[in-house]
């Protein structure tokens, strides 16, 4: 006697046929979408950029105009922008029927570093050196005066430097007291092991020393709010419970 096919075998067969049909429909629809003129890219929209110019970013991907919207992959877009150091990430969206949307996230400068020879480069929050071909209006940043040889600067790479790390540490301390204080400093530099800040508005110098940074900053802000200081003056807060105001640099 011939053995009957079990119910589970029949279900498996029907399931397999269904999967093949769904895949065939997907291939057919996908093929249709990638060939119809209706889906040729007519518009490219750039979002999220802050310093990088929209026209510059748009011109880079003009090759996508008149290409089929559904034939463009994120990999294709990323490849166009891979050599732009200031781009941190890209999100690509297709907007029916013919618009390509590219959202840019930028690396933003936090400080300028000045090299041994006086060349200025922006660095971002991760200490990555950004290009200095263009200086942007939005990037008015404090300068860190370093002795780093120019040959050690590689655009797009992280810079390792003790002074830079110290100033990033201080930036966090400042933010605990007054997040805007960092914007009132035009320059940081070392002199005889002492870290000196230069006030951006008037030009007086500030020395906080190594300890109790937050408490000293509170005292400094109180002083700035209640008296004026002349350009060239040094406010010396290195010593515990003592304020020294000098007319010359330390």
* Residue 231 and residue 139 in one domain: yes
How many distinct structural domains can be found in the chain? 2
Residue 152 lies in a domain: yes
Residue 9 lies in a domain: no
CATH of the domain at 80: 3.10.20.310
* Residue 131 and residue 47 in one domain: no
Cut 0.75: pTM above it: yes
Residue 3 lies in a domain: no
**Which portions of the chain are predicted below pLDDT 70?**
1-8, 10, 24-36
Q: DSSP code of 225?
A: H
* Residue 91 and residue 124 in one domain: no
Phi/psi for 84 (5° steps) reads -95, 105
* Residue 45 and residue 99 in one domain: yes
* Residue 141 and residue 122 in one domain: yes
Which residues, other chains included, contact 116 with Cβ-Cβ below 8 Å and sequence gap of 6+? Answer: 146, 147, 148, 149, 150
Give the pLDDT score at 109.
95
Give the pLDDT score at 31.
57
Q: 106, 135, 158: which is the final residue of a domain?
A: 106
Which residues, other chains included, contact 228 with Cβ-Cβ below 8 Å and sequence gap of 6+? Answer: 202
Which position has the token pair 């040959």? 151
Instruction: Give the Cα-Cα-Cα angle 136, 141, 142 (nearest 5 degrees).
Output: 155
CA 84, 88, 92, 98 torsion-angle sign:
negative
* Residue 231 and residue 154 in one domain: yes
Give the pLDDT score at 129.
98
* Residue 88 and residue 115 in one domain: no
What domain range includes position 70? 37-106
Give the pLDDT score at 46.
98
Give the pLDDT score at 20.
73
Report the helix count and the strand count for the chain, using DSSP H and E. Answer: 5, 11
Give the pLDDT score at 137.
77
Q: 106, 123, 142: which is the final residue of a domain?
A: 106
Residue 126 lies in a domain: yes
* Residue 199 and residue 171 in one domain: yes
Instruction: Give the Cα-Cα-Cα angle 102, 105, 107 (nearest 5 degrees).
Output: 145
* Residue 220 and residue 128 in one domain: yes
* Residue 146 and residue 78 in one domain: no
Q: 81, 106, 131: which is the final residue of a domain?
A: 106
Give the pLDDT score at 19.
81
* Residue 210 and residue 230 in one domain: yes
Give the pLDDT score at 11.
72
* Residue 202 and residue 224 in one domain: yes
Residue 237 lies in a domain: yes
CATH of the domain at 124: 3.40.50
pLDDT digits (tens, 9 = 90+) for 176-211: 999 999 999 999 999 988 999 999 999 999 999 988
Q: Which segments of the chain does DSSP mark as H helices, in order?
A: 7-33, 54-60, 74-81, 162-177, 213-226
Residue 10 lies in a domain: no
């Amino acid at each position: 006697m011939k053995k009957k096919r079990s119910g589970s075998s029949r279900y498996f067969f029907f399931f397999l046929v269904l999967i093949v049909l769904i895949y065939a429909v997907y291939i057919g629809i996908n093929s249709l979408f990638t060939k119809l003129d209706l889906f040729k890219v007519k518009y490219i929209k750039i979002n999220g950029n802050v310093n990088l110019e929209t026209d510059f970013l748009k011109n880079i991907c003009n090759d996508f105009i008149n290409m089929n919207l559904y034939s463009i992959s994120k990999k294709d877009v990323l490849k166009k922008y891979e050599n732009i150091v200031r781009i941190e990430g890209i999100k690509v969206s297709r907007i029916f029927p013919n618009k390509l949307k590219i959202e840019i996230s930028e690396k933003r400068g936090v400080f300028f570093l000045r090299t041994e020879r006086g060349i200025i480069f922006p660095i971002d929050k991760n200490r990555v050196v950004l290009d200095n071909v263009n200086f942007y209006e939005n990037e008015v940043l404090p300068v860190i005066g370093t002795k780093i040889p120019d040959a050690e600067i590689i655009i797009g790479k992280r810079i390792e430097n003790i002074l830079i790390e110290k100033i990033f540490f201080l930036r966090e301390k400042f933010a605990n007291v007054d997040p805007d204080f960092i914007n009132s400093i035009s320059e940081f530099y070392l002199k005889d092991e002492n870290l000196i800040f230069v006030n951006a508005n008037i030009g007086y110098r500030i020395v906080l020393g190594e300890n109790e940074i937050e408490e000293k900053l509170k005292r400094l802000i109180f002083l700035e709010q209640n008296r004026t200081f002349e350009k060239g003056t040094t406010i010396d807060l290195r010593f515990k419970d003592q304020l020294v105001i000098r007319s010359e640099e330390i």
